[in-house]
Amino acid sequence: MQPATAWDWSPGKKDIWDLSKHSREAQWHEELYASPDGEKTASIAKYGDEGFGICVNGQAQERLFEKIWNLRFAPDGRLTAIVQEEMDWSVLVDDEVWPEEYAFVWGVQFSQTGGTIAASIQQDGEYGMVVNGEAWPTLYQNANNFVLAKDGSATAAVVQVKNIPQADIWTYKEGCFSVAIDGNAWDTSFMNCWTPVFDAEAKRVACQVRHTLYDYSIVVDGQAWSSTFPSVWDPCFNPATGAVAAPVRMAGKWGMAQDNELIWDAKFFNCWNQQFSADGKNLWAIVAPKFGRWTLAVNGQVWGKTFGTMVTDMTVAPDGKHAAAVGKEGDKYAIIANDTIWVGWYDMVWKPVFSSDSHNVAAKVKRAGDRYTVVINGQVHNEDFDQCWDPVFSPEGTKVMLRVVKDGKYSRIVIPVPSSHH
Amino acid sequence: MTVDTQEKKIIEDPGIDQGAAKLTPEKIAQVINTTLGTENLARLYAYTKTCVHCGLCSDACHYFLSHDRDPKYSPVGKIKNTLWPMIKNKGKVSVEFMKEAARIAHTECNLCRRCVQYCPFGIDTAFMISTVRRIVHKLALTPQYIQDTAHSHAATMNQMWVKEDEWIDALMWQEDEARDEFPDFRIPLDKEGSDVYYSVIGPEPKFRTQLIYQAAAIFHEAGVDFTMPSGTGWDNSDMCMFTGDFEMMGRLKRDHYESAMKLKVNKIVMGECGHAYRSVYDMGNRWLGWREMPVPIIHSIQYFYELLMAGKIKVASTIDKLATFHDPCNTVRGMGLHEMGRAVAKAFVPNMVEMYPNREHNYCCAAGGGVINCGPPHKMTRVHGNKIKAEQLKATGAELIVAPCHNCHGGLEDIVHHYKLDMEIKFLGDIIYEHMVKTKAVEE
Ligand code: SF4
Ligand code: SF4
């Protein structure tokens, strides 16, 4: 696939294919996905007893498998799926299956550009990861919380390093879990580890741990913060300074700690999903300033507009100064961007997307039960669709590509960005 | 070591006993005073000051009724032997006292909330016993088996140590099996934007995969647009809520709700489990700061009822047996689903007879509240503690019990077996699957 600058950004609608037209009749199609550039859709087809195949724009690929699932386009446009042949599993990338097979494969992940593809594996009852077709040198009796660094240069997971006999609550308490990076576990182990995360260079790893049933903390490269808390949430690295920030619970409320120091007072009913801006200057998070009221906070400053049911899907703009999220009140969803709740309540709203210049925000929405469209800078697109994928901004941010299904046809529509409301 | 008064034999629980070996009176006092001083102080204070020791709650409790009205099994008696001395003595209680308090709180109260309805002041004994369990947790005195379950929750985000691949494999296996019956049957994984996210409890992929098959078959027949997640969050159960590990309870509920939010579903439909329901609509969500459920959760009882009323599932044949309906505490006293449950059961088993008392007054199965999860050492405590349920069941003359809750199944099976009742127990999912119209199945 070409880089986004070379995609077809000329305004207008392009019908790509008629969903009823397939080069081979199938019992059914599942997992229909559109490619990042909008030029292709792919689906998994079931061909009776012969098995499963992949169909791209209605064109059936020849190779069939016993089972296919998790069909996804990588950010670079390569088409991937988890496939089974003779009871063993592997990953299909475009036309090639990775040569090694495993007893089970799941959890495919992509690096930011899509250059690296990783997955979770189980082989002979042992667990680990496979990266671009190569498995970790060491596998473990159990592993979870698998993660691939954004740049694709490293992988990590929580691994079980000590056996726990059945119902042996004492061995468990000694600490049987650690974090393995590219298959190599830290020397230290903990009662529990959760959500390992890489720094910007994929050189350091932080995670949540529980030392005892009551003492939670953050561990960075195997070293725990000296403070413990009644609970913590997922840490993240400041991409500019390398500092580690994590929500911490104190006396029944939540605050934000950074490198073992409290930086936001513990005054929130909750505080999570924090994220640094790319320049590291702003720290954003979803917070509950009161019980049952939700909004965003930046550097500890809470937005004025709140939602009663929840706030989710926070997106920080590339400039780090703006953010948007999805809020819910009762059973209706809305978009909040820069502390303004956009007009319009929907049955569902997908994670907002910013243009690269940070001036525009768009999100996929569902309304009237099962009709889909997009909202761009607060304005609802004037057409509904049977199905649609997240909107994609052109690299300079003046156009938006919609990937949609309507009346049985998959199309790619490019429209100019309506003027910004914020 | 503790004494079971019915059997007059010593019940050992290494979780309690080994935890107690490490305790000092100072540690006990510190934990009690900190917990009582910082968590729900006003509510506890109001309850302890309001209770007039009238004993009107006694007749509500199945343990009391099953032990010849022995006052120490009454709700107020249990508080008298656990929480009150802790408060009165400002935390200065002995290690032996705490062992006994752990045993009472974990194995002689199901947190069923029946007694709450009978107290003239609405005192919530279950809440107070839950506070005792919280103290027991902080003192590491939790019974071994339920602590192991809590450990599994923390390590795997499910209660049965199910590994990530085992979960997906169980779903694919059921999908494969079901295609013999329904050729175009699917259990769609991670299908974003589905109407329904179906969640279950840990034992289903481990021991009771047929329940997943059945539920998916019902959805398939009804044309429900549903999905199940391939990652964690699928287990809606929560034994940490019952061990008093509320921090872990919150972590589990976050995982559950976030996995549904990620898939952008309209709602979560949960399988036939009672306690999990309590954890998502009352305890876990609120610990996280959500006043209500951030994603609506509909219990299977209600969902099956809606499908039936909408004509999406139809009755093909009925069961020609005398049946009775067991009301699970958390779906009935908690959420008032008793009439919906009866309507579904009656559609398939017309010949229904009521237990007395019933609906929100029904006796607990004695397995709930985490009691069954305390494992084999305490099995007879709950079986002897629910003689009244056996009598209640026997009086119906029914051959079949319809019980839409996992824990209730476990508890009732033990009661049926011990008291030789010769009754069959079924989930709503069992009777619907076996007797619904299957328009999409292959001809037999
Ligand atoms: S078992 Fe039920 S009725 Fe008995 S004390 Fe506990 S909550 Fe009350
Ligand atoms: S009925 Fe209420 S007031 Fe009376 S003993 Fe029981 S809890 Fe106390």
Q: Per-residue pLDDT averaged across B73-96, rounded?
A: 97
The rounded radius of gyration (Å) of the Cα atoms in chain B is: 22
For ligand 2, whether the C-beta of B127 sits within 6 Å is no
Is the CB of B290 less than 8 angstroms away from the CB of A310?
A: yes
| Confidence (pLDDT) at A1 | 86
d(CA A230, CA A201): 31
The partner residue sitting opposite B15, judged by closest CB among A169, A214, A347, is A169
* Closest ligand by atom to B366 CA: 1
The partner residue sitting opposite A310, judged by closest CB among B286, B294, B375, is B294
Bridge-based pairing state of the strands B196-199 and B267-270: parallel
Q: Do A29 and A45 touch, CB atoms closer than 8 A?
A: yes
Which element (helix H / strand E) includes A55? Answer: strand A52-56
| Confidence (pLDDT) at B2 | 40
Residue-wise pLDDT for B169-200, tens only, equals 999 999 999 999 999 999 999 999 999 999 99
Check pLDDT > 60 for residue B3. no
Report residue A220 as tokens: 């960075």
Is the CB of B183 less than 8 angstroms away from the CB of A27?
A: yes
B34 Cβ neighbours under 8 A, 6+ residues apart:
none
Taking the Cβ of residue B266 and every Cβ of chain A, the question of whether any pair is shorter than 8 Å is answered with yes
Is the CB of A69 less than 8 angstroms away from the CB of B138?
A: no
| Confidence (pLDDT) at B444 | 64
d(CA B37, CA B39): 6
* Closest ligand by atom to B129 CA: 1
d(CA A49, CA A402): 36
Is the CB of B230 less than 8 angstroms away from the CB of A127?
A: no
Residue in A closest to B146 by C-alpha? A167
For ligand 1, whether the C-beta of B75 sits within 6 Å is yes
> What is the distance in angstroms between the CA of the first residue and the CA of the last residue of chain B?
58
| Confidence (pLDDT) at B11 | 87
CA-based torsion, B45, B46, B47, B49: positive or negative: positive
Q: Which of B57, B73, B116, B118 to mutate to test the pocket of ligand 2 (most atoms within 8 A of CB)?
A: B57
Q: Per-residue pLDDT averaged across B132-161, rounded?
A: 98
Check pLDDT > 60 for residue B4. no
Q: Do A110 and A74 touch, CB atoms closer than 8 A?
A: yes
Amino acid identity of residue B314, one-letter, is: K
Report residue B78 as tokens: 């249990």
d(CA B367, CA B326): 13
The partner residue sitting opposite A28, judged by closest CB among B145, B184, B294, is B184
Residue-wise pLDDT for B213-244, tens only, equals 999 999 999 999 999 999 999 999 999 999 99
Is the CB of A27 less than 8 angstroms away from the CB of B193?
A: no
Distance B397 CA to ligand 2 centre (A): 34
CB contact burial B364-399 (16+ within 10 A = b; e otherwise)? bbbbbbbbbbbbebbbbbbbbbbbbbbebbbebebe
Q: Which residues of A touch B140 (CB under 8 A)?
A: 213
Cβ-defined contacts of B76-81 (< 8 Å, 24+): B76/B51, B76/B125, B78/B104, B78/B105, B78/B108, B78/B109, B78/B125, B78/B129, B79/B51, B79/B125, B79/B128, B79/B129
Q: How many CA atoms lie within 13 A of A156 on its CB side?
A: 23
Q: Do B32 and B39 touch, CB atoms closer than 8 A?
A: no
The rounded radius of gyration (Å) of the Cα atoms in chain A is: 23
Distance B304 CA to ligand 1 centre (A): 29
The closest of B251, B255, B283 to B133, measured between CA atoms, is B283
Q: Which residues of B touch A312 (CB under 8 A)?
A: 261, 294
Q: Which residues of A touch B188 (CB under 8 A)?
A: 30
What is the dotted CATH code of the domain comprising B314-435? Answer: 3.40.50
For ligand 2, whether the C-beta of B54 sits within 6 Å is yes
d(CA B286, CA B279): 9
How large is the ipTM? Answer: 0.97
B residues 45..104 contacting A (CB < 8 A)? none
What is the dotted CATH code of the domain comprising B155-308? Answer: 3.40.50
Q: How far is B215 from chain A (nearest CA, A)?
A: 20
Check pLDDT > 50 for residue B347. yes
Query: pTM for the full model?
Result: 0.97
Distance B61 CA to ligand 1 centre (A): 5
The closest of B14, B209, B204 to A165, measured between CA atoms, is B14
Exposed, middle or buried: residue A321 (CB in 10 Å: 0-12, 13-18, 19+)? Answer: middle
Q: Please state, for a pLDDT cut of 90, what percent of chain B lies above it.
A: 94
User: Which residue puts its alpha carbon closest to atom 4 of ligand 1?
Assistant: B61
Which element (helix H / strand E) includes B97? Answer: helix B95-107
Q: Return the number of other C-beta atoms located less than 10 Å from residue A82's C-beta.
A: 23
Q: Which of A50, A191, A213, A370 to mutate to test the interface with B (most CBs of B within 10 A)?
A: A213
Walking along chain A (422 residues) 10 residues at a time, the average pLDDT comes out as 95 96 92 96 95 96 97 98 97 96 98 97 98 98 98 98 97 98 98 98 98 98 98 98 98 97 98 98 98 98 98 98 98 97 98 97 96 97 97 97 97 91 46
B61 Cβ neighbours under 8 A, 6+ residues apart:
B73, B74, B75, B114, B115
Residue-wise pLDDT for B362-410, tens only, equals 999 999 999 999 999 999 999 999 999 999 999 999 999 999 999 999 9
Closest atom of ligand 2 to B121 CA is 2
Q: Which of A310, A311, A364, A371 to mutate to test the interface with B (most CBs of B within 10 A)?
A: A310
What are the residue ranges spanned by the domains of chain B? Answer: 14-142, 155-308, 314-435
DSSP assigned state of A383: -
The closest of A139, A64, A135, A148 to A100, measured between CA atoms, is A135
Which element (helix H / strand E) includes B75? Answer: helix B75-80
What residues does B10 pair with on adjacent strands? B3
For ligand 2, whether the C-beta of B116 sits within 6 Å is no
d(CA B161, CA B212): 18
Q: Do A80 and A117 touch, CB atoms closer than 8 A?
A: yes
d(CA A346, CA A339): 18
Q: Per-residue pLDDT averaged across B116-134, rounded?
A: 97
| Confidence (pLDDT) at B334 | 87
Taking the Cβ of residue B39 and every Cβ of chain A, the question of whether any pair is shorter than 8 Å is answered with yes
Is the CB of B164 less than 8 angstroms away from the CB of A144?
A: yes
Closest atom of ligand 2 to B75 CA is 6
Taking the Cβ of residue B234 and every Cβ of chain A, the question of whether any pair is shorter than 8 Å is answered with no
Is the CB of A70 less than 8 angstroms away from the CB of B190?
A: yes
| Confidence (pLDDT) at A420 | 62
Say how many residues make up chain B. Answer: 444
Q: Which residues of A touch B294 (CB under 8 A)?
A: 309-310, 312, 328
Q: Per-residue pLDDT averaged across B263-287, rounded?
A: 93
> What is the distance in angstroms between the CA of the first residue and the CA of the last residue of chain A?
34
Q: Do B135 and B244 touch, CB atoms closer than 8 A?
A: yes
Residue in A closest to B193 by C-alpha? A348
Q: How far is A201 from chain B (nearest CA, A)?
A: 27
Q: Which residues of B touch A350 (CB under 8 A)?
A: 264
| Confidence (pLDDT) at B9 | 58
- Structural fold of domain B14-142: Fumarate Reductase Iron-sulfur Protein; Chain B, domain 2 (1.10.1060)
Examine domains B155-308 and B314-435 and report if their fold is the same.
yes
Is the CB of B148 less than 8 angstroms away from the CB of A169?
A: yes
Distance B42 CA to ligand 2 centre (A): 18
CB contact burial A286-304 (16+ within 10 A = b; e otherwise)? bbbbeebbbbbbbebebbe
For ligand 2, whether the C-beta of B53 sits within 6 Å is yes
Mean per-residue pLDDT over chain B, rounded: 95
Is the CB of A213 less than 8 angstroms away from the CB of B245?
A: yes
Report residue B280 as tokens: 């998502």
